[in-house]
Amino acid sequence: MSGFVSLVGAGPGDEELISLKGARRLEEADVLIYDRLVNPMLLSYTKANCEKIYVGKIPNQPCVSQEKIEEVLVAKAKEGKKVVRLKSGDPYIFGRGGEEAQTLIQEGIPFEVVPGITSAIAGLAYAGIPMTFRNIATSFHVFTGHLQDASEALNWDAISHLKGTLVFLMGMKNLQTICEELMVRGYDKETPVAIIEWATHPQQRSIDGKLETIVELAEKHQMKAPSLIVIGDVVAFRKELNYHEKLPLFGRTILVQETPNAKLPKLLKDAGATVYAFQSPSKLLAKELSLPELSSIDGLLITDPSSWKFFVAYLQQEDLDIRSLSHLKIVASGHHTIKTIKEAGIRLYDQINDVAEENFVKRMSEQEGNWIILTSDIKEKAVAEVLNFPIYTTHTVAFENESFSYHAEDIQLVCLPNSAAAYHFVLMAEKTQENWKEKPIIIMGDNTRSVLEKAGYHHLIESEEKTLKSVCKACQTFFRRESENE
């Protein structure tokens, strides 16, 4: 049975520039075959059991051949799977997508093409250069600058007579040739030229000069591939229209926890940041509970909603119900825990935001009778450090997908606005086995600080107010001061 292949354009680099249809195809994919320049955050759109195959090509280095890529594409489709071939930019613009489509037709495999935004357009916009401008550039022309041999030589006579904007992709190796070929044919040496490196990616850089000076400037600034070369009068608008590189968090990489409403990531992205997100650990594995007789217990502390749910399952297993808890003093920690237990019709003896609160620890030390604590494996250590009661671990917490699309070295700053995000960050850091301890972390509130300090994190910066806007402002302040100190 034949599967189905989607040739999807990932866009130029900014994660949010993929189309809605492209994002949906990623969510549905059984197999993802992706290129080097694809934003790694797009990999997180896939389901946990999606097979990911990297086929990136690095210039002047051994890599997977195009023939091999097409073999894999065909083989996976013939296994009856939904295959996404994710290509940077647009599949049909210097991406060999047409060749892959031909191969699929020859093999009788159904396919579709999901267009993507090419860097030839988006890259210019992110550097403040309009591709066209009335009375200045009424046309644009896009060329490959990656000329392997004489058979691929461009028609420089024709190009030198073109009006409008010239854009060369993959042309850094041939920058001098491009400039010389145009100037020798009468192209004005004063024509504005820009180079945009890693267009729309967090590490985007751009410079501008003239046709006769750009080679020297590129060497001075050490501009490298992947870069766009833009030639034409529209480059002169760069200083006026370059809004993106002036955003307060432009070029900054920030890690947050993935949330359903994504308010914080949106605020950070709108300020120019590239945001990486780690998923909440959603894989909960029940542990076998062996609790004392409930009649022998006087008090019960629940630290999280899942511990309560696993406790209720334990009661059912023991043929008990909530009536057997009527004599217990039940304490809940955390907003969601409190809400979950109250919805079950339980009246709480006490409720707190975090077990580490000084007043709460004092109150608990004065309690008489037998108390037990129900918690998860990730909170067990922190709870044991402040409360001297028997602890029973109801479940372990794990990430559904432990393949993270970033590394500690990619991240400049971490934002953890609540204690839950802090717990999950600590767990994620342990899973990656990378050095996160030196990373600066923007936090909100004493509970978050407590969780992180106990885990050995001390480069903590608290927002002025307990709002997400204040967290975003704290990020901007941090980077501004860092730049001032350089």
Radius of gyration of the chain (CA): 28
Q: Does residue 329 have an active-site annotation?
A: no
121: left (phi over 0), alpha (psi -120 to 50) or beta: alpha
Asked whether 389 and 301 are in contact (CB, 8 A), the reply is: yes
- Phi then psi for residue 45, to 5 deg, are -75, -20
Query: Judging by DSSP bridges, how do beta strands 205-210 and 31-34 pair with one another?
Result: unpaired
Q: Does residue 223 have an active-site annotation?
A: no
**Which residue in 14, 76, 131, 170 is the catalytic one?**
170
Sign of CA dihedral 463, 467, 468, 469: negative
Q: Does residue 1 have an active-site annotation?
A: no
**Cis omega (within 30 of 0) for bond into 417:** no
**Which residue in 35, 350, 377, 446 is the catalytic one?**
35
**Which residue in 57, 173, 266, 329 is the catalytic one?**
57
Instruction: Label residues 328-361 b or e (16+ Cβ within 10 Å = b).
Output: bbbbbbbeebbebbeeeebeeeebbbbbbbeebe
- State which amino acid sits at residue 29: A
Tokens of 172: 């850094």
Q: Which residues are the active-site residues?
A: 35, 57, 170
